[in-house]
Amino acid sequence: MRDSHFERFRPICPSCRSTGTVSPIHVAHVERRVDDDVIDGSLMCGTCRT
């Protein structure tokens, strides 16, 4: 996913959402990147660390 798309969509954590909390998800680790496109990586919630 491109960085600009991620910033525009601003995904929230589904785990926190199930408890009524809105927590943003951020890119925790980038394994492989091509220009502004993250090919492989991982996401993490800043609140519950899922």
13 contacts Zn ion (rule: CB under 5 A): yes
| Segment lying near Zn ion (by CB under 5 A), choices 6-14, 26-34, 35-43 | 6-14
Residue among 3, 1, 6, 2 nearest 24 (CA): 6
Under the binding rule (CB under 5 A), the answer on residue 47 touching Zn ion is yes
In the complex, least distance from residue 16 CB atom to Zn ion, rounded to whole angstroms = 3
* Interacting residues of 18 by C-beta distance below 8 A, sequence separation 6+: none
Q: What gap in Å lies between CA 9 and CA 6, rounded to an integer? A: 5
Of 15, 27, 43, 44, the one binding Zn ion by CB under 5 A = 15
